[in-house]
Amino acid sequence: MITFRELHLIDAEKIQEIDRSERIHSIYQMEEGVLKEIKAGHECPNWSVEEVERLTVRFRSELEKGGKAFGAFDQSRLVGFGVLAHKWRGKNKDQLQVDLMYVSREYRRKGIGTRIMDDLSREAKLRGAKSLYISSTETQSAYNFYRNCGSDIAEEVDEELFELEPLDIHLVKEL
């Protein structure tokens, strides 16, 4: 049985329990404002030790600055999590970012990611946000997940996030 709860700083080390690997069939690219699908066909491996450390630092930093995280557990094993960033975004400063969002490979397409997005959306709304800003990896699976959660291509791209991840697909989910 999968259980859900808020995550805390002490939970940061559990990120390593997530298997982020996946078979990537297609990716998307934005070209002059148009989303283009590009066939792929490669395996994205699980995280390296360095990537886990970087994500753990990022997770802790967001929570220390006022962000919030929610996770899904199969018994004591973390199988999915999402982080709502602390920093306000958008021209009206009424957006909060989904900073991290992962579900372990064997647990995908079971409603776990959707439940975590619902928790992040609810928290953002409680904080007064009008929408969530999502800088999604360009994989078809990530893009389709966020679209199925009600997100649309962002009309205005956050320049700071674009500079960090220029290949990401930028989306907004109205709350």
* CA 111 – CA 168 distance, rounded (Å): 23
The overall average pLDDT reported for the chain is 95
Beta bridge partners of 174: 131
Residues 133/95, Cβ–Cβ less than 8 Å: yes
pLDDT score, position 89: 97
Q: How far is CA 8 from CA 1, 11, 13, 86, in A?
A: 21, 5, 10, 14
Which pLDDT band, with edges at 50, 70 and 90, does 132 fall under? very high
Rounded to an integer, the average pLDDT of 116-134 is: 98
Confidence check: pLDDT of 14 > 90: yes
Which pLDDT band, with edges at 50, 70 and 90, does 32 fall under? confident
Which pLDDT band, with edges at 50, 70 and 90, does 41 fall under? confident
CA–chain centroid gap for 123, Å, is: 15
* CA 93 – CA 128 distance, rounded (Å): 10
Which pLDDT band, with edges at 50, 70 and 90, does 9 fall under? very high
Fold of the domain spanning 2-174: Aminopeptidase (3.40.630)
Rounded to an integer, the average pLDDT of 101-118 is: 97
Confidence check: pLDDT of 120 > 90: yes
The pairs formed by 116-120 with CB atoms below 8 angstroms and a separation of 24 or more are: 116/4, 116/70, 116/71, 116/72, 116/80, 116/81, 116/82, 117/82, 117/149, 117/173, 119/4, 119/70, 119/82, 120/68, 120/70, 120/82, 120/83, 120/84
Q: For the whole model, what pTM was predicted?
A: 0.94
Where exactly are the structural domains of the chain? 2-174
